Amino acid sequence: MKFLKWDVMQRVVIIGGVAGGASAAARLRRLNEDIEIIMLDRGSFVSYANCGLPYFIGHVIQDPSTLELVKPQQFRNRFNVDARVNHEVKSIDRDKKTVSVKDLVKNEQYQLSYDYLILSPGAEPIKPSIPGIEKVPVFLLRTIPDAVLIRDYIEKNESQKVVIVGGGFIGLELAENLRAISMSVTIVEMLDQVMPPLDREMAQFIHKELISNGVCLFLEDPVDSVGRTNKNHPFIKTKNGRVIETDLIVLSIGIKAEGKLAREAKLDLGPKGHILVNKHMQTSDPAIYAVGDVVQVSDLITGQPLAIPLAGPANKQGRIAAENICGRNTKYNGILGTAVVKVFDLTIASVGLSEKSLKNTKIQYEKVYLHPNNHTNYYPGAIPMAVKLLFETPSGRILGAQIVGGPGSDKRIDIISTLIKMGGTVFDLEELELAYAPPYGSAKDAINLAGFIAANVLRGDQPIWHWHDLAKIKERNGFILDVRTPGEYKLGTIEGAINIPDTLLRQKFNELPQDRPIYTFCAVGYRGYLATRTLLQHGFKEVYNLSGGYTTFNVARSRTENVIKACG
């Protein structure tokens, strides 16, 4: 193993002992037995599973001690790391290479010198100054004590109603867990969708899932104020004037980097207060490294500055900082934001650039939608997935993907994430050889299909249109052809569409215009694709298939008001 041996014992001080900090500490020790490692956390725990907190609140995890992954004593025994809980770092003196630490139990302050410092203080939940906030029980969720506080409050007060402000992944996990303990749950969200990393049409599937599980969802309706009724009951008032009585409120509207120490120490920061680091996780001070939610790194695809708060990157960056301190030239090459969340029966996973973010770049892109099952149709329990794949044109380089489905959505996103990292294209997706047996997938796996469809588009075999193209079609005097069965057609179709089932198409060419572009569609895209191929090969010049079919069209175009109405 190659690492530096110093003549004098070096001391590494780590601020923050959870995801990034604890990883750094363990890696440092594995690489070098001689370093003195002191890991400070102002909380009462190190290396705990903040990702498990919503499940503790929902009683899926009963015992909070199981959330403590490694206890301070274990850090001492196993890694010879001096892990000090309830020790808060108040300031950094870069000239003297010392930190000022407060022992929160003894209420004593002391100085600690360092040779290297690793900052992993994370990010704190945003608590905005909502008028009336001091009058009502408002909670935030970041730490084990926060989760215990929420669970205890609900139990002691026999709370039945909760309003969650913010529909990000923590808000959604909380919604599921609070429904699991039979609470009446309302989500109030300022945007027109939950799960901001997804594009809105994909988030619509989550909206449906929330509503069908009894969650009341108010979109595009930010909080205006909170207060108490005449009967002293807490309520929340939204900007649209809606008043929702509740027993408690949980704010999960986002986080902000804990950049105070770094700012006061005059390290270089990004526009939102994140610490700037190079690829070695080194800050503008060569003796100070920073990792995790507090840092700004770069987007692996675009190279643009980016900060995404996720446990995986924090852990890996901690490891990389440790390796560099030990003399290795390890690099963090950028973040993809590969993420997964469970919302009731849905598994929602995404990676890379969304269409929203692509619109802010100069990258030329196309997208395809598909709705394959998570395993073979004939094996019981197959669940459809909604897949959106974004790729560069004409190269086919994969840029991002979003899947909303059941079990197996996560593994597909992980494969796509791996391909993106390797610079893979949709043509690689076509070729991937993936494990298959009926309970797990299909001989042509869902993501092979995504590759086939995208490659068909790029090769010109399957020109496509999208759910948002109706105005353009009208302008071009396009002919919309519904190739589903008459029964499906009767249940609902696209305005102006003519129904000729794909099985009858070859007998009915004379009913189709030769001089107008034809826009086919079916339920999910497969029959429309067959129809497109047939028509193109029989001399129809311009034929396009609706990507994702009527399923994507319908979900994508259903309006937020419908969602709100469904809440009652």
Write out the binding residues for ligand FAD, residues 114-133 only, by CB under 6 A: 120-122
Does position 528 bind ligand FAD by CB under 6 A?
A: no
d(CA 249, CA 208): 23
Nearer to ligand FAD, 418 or 554 (CB): 418
8 Å CB contact between 300 and 336:
yes
Nearer to ligand FAD, 225 or 298 (CB): 298
d(CA 214, CA 175): 10
Does position 15 bind ligand FAD by CB under 6 A?
A: yes
Which region among 48-56, 271-279, 409-417, 553-561 touches ligand FAD (by CB under 6 A)? 48-56
Per DSSP, 282 falls in state B
Does position 258 bind ligand FAD by CB under 6 A?
A: yes
d(CA 477, CA 126): 50
Q: Is 87 helix (H, G, I), strand (E, B) or coil?
A: strand
Nearer to ligand FAD, 15 or 497 (CB): 15
d(CA 214, CA 218): 13
Residues near ligand FAD (CB under 6 A), total: 32
Nearest residue to the partner ligand FAD, using Cβ: 292
245: which strand partners? 235
d(CA 65, CA 397): 45
User: Residue 198 CB: number of other CB atoms within 10 A?
Assistant: 24
Among 29, 42, 316, 371, binds ligand FAD (CB under 6 A): 42
Query: CA quadruple 541, 542, 547, 553: dihedral positive or negative?
Result: negative
Write out the binding residues for ligand FAD, residues 55-94 only, by CB under 6 A: 88-89
Could you tell me the smallest distance in angstroms from the CB atom of residue 467 to ligand FAD? 30
Does position 189 bind ligand FAD by CB under 6 A?
A: no
Q: Give burial (CB, 10 Å; 0-12/13-18/19+) of 568.
A: exposed
Interface characters, 136-165, with ligand FAD (x: CB under 6 A): -----xx-----------------------
Does position 247 bind ligand FAD by CB under 6 A?
A: no
For tokens 């086939």, the residue is 452
Q: Which of 60, 226, 250 is nearest to 171 (CA)?
A: 250
8 Å CB contact between 276 and 255:
no
Nearer to ligand FAD, 314 or 563 (CB): 314
Does position 50 bind ligand FAD by CB under 6 A?
A: yes
Among 67, 163, 170, 564, binds ligand FAD (CB under 6 A): 170
Nearer to ligand FAD, 174 or 531 (CB): 174
Which region among 17-25, 57-65, 403-411, 446-454 touches ligand FAD (by CB under 6 A)? 17-25
Which region among 109-117, 191-199, 289-297, 507-515 touches ligand FAD (by CB under 6 A)? 289-297
Could you tell me the smallest distance in angstroms from the CB atom of residue 515 to ligand FAD? 54
Does position 283 bind ligand FAD by CB under 6 A?
A: no
d(CA 456, CA 561): 36
Among 132, 270, 305, 312, binds ligand FAD (CB under 6 A): 312
Could you tell me the smallest distance in angstroms from the CB atom of residue 313 to ligand FAD? 7
Does position 410 bind ligand FAD by CB under 6 A?
A: no
Nearer to ligand FAD, 309 or 400 (CB): 309
Active site residue 51: yes
Could you tell me the smallest distance in angstroms from the CB atom of residue 191 to ligand FAD? 20
Could you tell me the smallest distance in angstroms from the CB atom of residue 249 to ligand FAD? 16
Nearer to ligand FAD, 45 or 391 (CB): 45
- Token pair, residue 31, equals 């690489």
335: Cβ–Cβ under 8 A, 6 or more apart, which residues? 297, 298, 299, 300, 306, 308, 310, 313
Does position 348 bind ligand FAD by CB under 6 A?
A: no
Proportion of the chain in helix, strand, coil states, percent, rounded to 5? 35, 25, 40
Which region among 266-274, 304-312, 362-370, 424-432 touches ligand FAD (by CB under 6 A)? 304-312
91: which strand partners? 100
d(CA 143, CA 272): 23
**Greatest Cα pair distance in the chain:** 90
Query: CA quadruple 51, 57, 61, 65: dihedral positive or negative?
Result: positive
| Residue 117 φ/ψ, nearest 5 degrees | -125, 135
Interface characters, 358-397, with ligand FAD (x: CB under 6 A): ----------------------------------------
Q: Among residues 51, 326, 522, 567, which one is catalytic?
A: 51
Nearer to ligand FAD, 167 or 517 (CB): 167
Q: In 120-158, which ranges are E strands?
A: 123-125, 138-139
d(CA 253, CA 196): 11
Half-sphere exposure of 560 (CA within 13 A, CB side): 14
Among 314, 326, 336, 415, binds ligand FAD (CB under 6 A): 314
* Active-site annotation, residues: 51
Binding site for ligand FAD (CB under 6 A): 15-16, 18-21, 40-43, 50-51, 53-54, 88-89, 120-122, 141-142, 170, 258, 261, 292-294, 309-312, 314
